[in-house]
A and B are shown apart, each in its own frame.
Chain A
């Protein structure tokens, strides 16, 4: 690695951390982080006392595991897509282009930022969950290892999709609608909040194509006892298959995202940005 590349990597790390620090001191962002925690903790509390049918495991615990998976996935897709769309509109990306190795640092910075945001969201959720929900915790050393790698691979598998969406969407205010709707659809079939074993088999098959199912499964394997395996497909946590599916998505995603990002970054110019700004003002 040459000195300049090393500097770009260092600048990217610094950039990601700085942006994350800004996010933690921004009122809107904090409301976002804490709002999700309060909402989901509240939902889970509401389900207290109910057990998953055929087991003695509280539904709340299964939900919490699913929510961790949901937070990882939604950070990877919406934070990345939204961030890219905004950065294109306000000139952040063009600024990066105007600086030597700036785009490399920008992308590394974005990755660091997304990892930090995902970690913060998960930690903020887990702290009250560990304290207030009986039996919800990480009990096996191997579960800690799973908790370390599944979210990371989950982020890697979905972030390229976020990057592609963020490169294609020209209006940042439309991002939420365009991204969240399909995301919610996939979430509904991926067994984030309930077992997919009750679904028709073709739907179960479809759900297992997408990474979200495997992220949620991995999180259930961490937070739920093995007695829950009775209601999982194949009565196994299938972590090897999870790694494989997420790995394929990550590899293919990165190749496609790199091409889309390159094309998008190349096309970015002052007059495009100006035109976007005018359109935005007209809509406002």
Chain B
């Protein structure tokens, strides 16, 4: 799979060099969400979600199933009407977004199985045409189809019928369709579900390439590893709220510094939990010296904290899990 090629990058660079008259600081906030609420059949699915995404930023909504990630993204896409709160995507309320607004977005959903009888290139060219009238010197629309097929690694399948593609190839096509209009904002709902590790890495390259072109990317995932690799910023969602927010490093630093020290002495295993691992080790070694073996020190990681959040969330106490996680990470 090729990266977005060099000409395209030069175009993007030239576009950046050409100052955008609309590029004032307020415009820089591509997605603004404040106190977003969603009530559905008597239950609150979203209980006041607020965040902002800036131009060229890759933002991840990370959380267990049922946390409210997909609902949030669907409201931003304009596919769902919210119950309350303020939402702006590219300065427009998605509930009233027109076709011109729509042309500036890219959408990749979880479970598309459409257009099975169409051939890959046929479908991509058909959908590409819609974006032609919205082209500008700064944003060429649509992307050239052949080049895009190369980018997502489907050139060899250009003539294949969509329903003969494997699950991973199908998702690549979905991603290609999502970016064929050269969107300013791209929404991806669980984009790498069903990808093998190589496809996943290729996909990560595509996303980083898009961010270099000033595309804002909002994606959902329940996979922390993916969020860490992709996102400039991670929003952890649980129970309809954002319970933590920051860069991967920032979130990791927020996790309590308790460390687990394991060692063996005279054939017996010991485990000790401490907030001052270095001090504890100094004492341990001073006291027992050479008798200490198999020493292992493990800081509680973001992963540990996240896994326990997911576990509690799925065992039914979403609300409780969200609160505890928020408490823990503070």
Spell out A's residues near B (CB within 8 Å): 3-4, 7-8, 11, 14-15, 18-19, 22, 26, 87, 90-92, 94-95, 97-102, 105, 268-271, 273-274, 277
CB pairs A–B below 8 angstroms (6 shown)? A7-B133, A90-B112, A94-B79, A98-B102, A98-B105, A100-B134
CA distance A90 to B116 in the complex (A): 9
Q: Is the CB of B132 within 8 A of A91?
A: no
Assess whether B80 is in contact with A18, with CB atoms less than 8 Å apart. no
Report the Cα distance A271→B70, complex, angstroms: 7
Shortest CB-to-CB span from A110 to chain B, Å, is: 14
Q: Which of B159-202 contact A (CB under 8 A)?
A: 177, 181, 189
Closest beta carbon of chain B to A24's beta carbon, Å: 11
In whole Å, how far is A31's beta carbon from the nearest beta carbon of chain B? 15
Q: Judging by beta carbons under 8 Å apart, are B111 and A100 in contact?
A: no
Contact at B99–A4, with CB atoms within 8 Å? yes
Q: How far, in whole Å, are A91 and B163 apart by their CA atoms in the complex?
A: 14
Identify the closest chain A residue to B116 (Cβ). A90
In chain B between 116 and 132, which residues have their CB closer than 8 angstroms to a CB of chain A? 116-118, 122, 126-127, 129-132
- Complex alpha-carbon distance, A18 and B74, angstroms: 30
Q: Are B130 and A92 in contact (CB under 8 A)?
A: no
The answer to whether B113 has its CB under 8 Å from any CB of chain A is yes
Chain B 71-110 interface 0/1 with A at a Cβ cutoff of 8 Å (1 = within): 1001001011000000000000000000110110101011
Interface residues on B, range: 20 to 34
* From A8, A11, A90, A100, residue with most partner B Cβ within 10 Å: A100
Once the chains bind, are B127 and A270 in contact (CB under 8 Å)?
no
Residues of B within 8 A of A22 (CB): 117-118
Residues of B within 8 A of A4 (CB): 99, 133
- Please tell me if B7 contacts chain A, counting CB pairs below 8 Å: no
Within the complex, which residue of A91, A98, A100 is in contact with B100, where a contact is CB–CB below 8 Å?
A: A100
- Please give the residue numbers on chain B whose beta carbons come within 8 Å of chain A beta carbons, in ascending order: 70-71, 74, 77, 79-80, 99-100, 102-103, 105, 107, 109-118, 122, 126-127, 129-134, 177, 181, 189
- Contact assessment for A270 and B133 in the assembled complex, using a CB-CB cutoff below 8 Å: no
CB within 8 Å for A270 and B129 given contacts A90-B114, A92-B115: no
- Shortest distance from the beta carbon of B208 to any chain A beta carbon, whole Å: 23
Which among A8, A14, A91, A269 is the interface contact of B112 at CB below 8 angstroms?
A91
Name the residue on B nearest A7 (C-beta). Answer: B133
Does A91 contact B134, Cβ atoms closer than 8 Å? Answer: no
Q: Are A95 and B114 in contact (CB under 8 A)?
A: yes
* Cβ distance A245 to chain B, nearest Cβ, rounded Å: 36
**By the criterion CB–CB under 8 Å, are A100 and B99 in contact?**
yes
Chain A residues with CB under 8 A of B80: 269, 271
Q: Which residues of A contact B122 (CB under 8 A)?
A: 18
Q: How far is the CA of A3 from the CA of B131 in the complex (A)?
A: 12
Q: A18-B122, A269-B74, A270-B109 in contact; A102/B115 too (CB < 8 A)? A: no
> With A and B bound together, what is the CA distance between A4 and B129 in angstroms?
10
Are A101 and B114 in contact, CB atoms less than 8 angstroms apart? no
What is the chain A residue whose CB lies nearest that of B40? Answer: A271
The answer to whether A271 and B74 touch across the interface, beta carbons within 8 angstroms, is yes
What residue of chain A has the Cβ atom nearest to residue B131's Cβ?
A100
Alpha-carbon gap, A91 to B107, bound state (A): 12
Asked whether B118 lies within 8 Å of A18 as measured between CB atoms, the reply is: yes
B129 in complex: contacting residue of A7, A94, A273, CB < 8 Å: A7
With a CB–CB cut-off of 8 A, which chain A residues contact B132?
Answer: 7
Known: A3-B133, A270-B70. A91 touches B111 (CB 8 A): yes
Residues of B within 8 A of A269 (CB): 74, 79-80
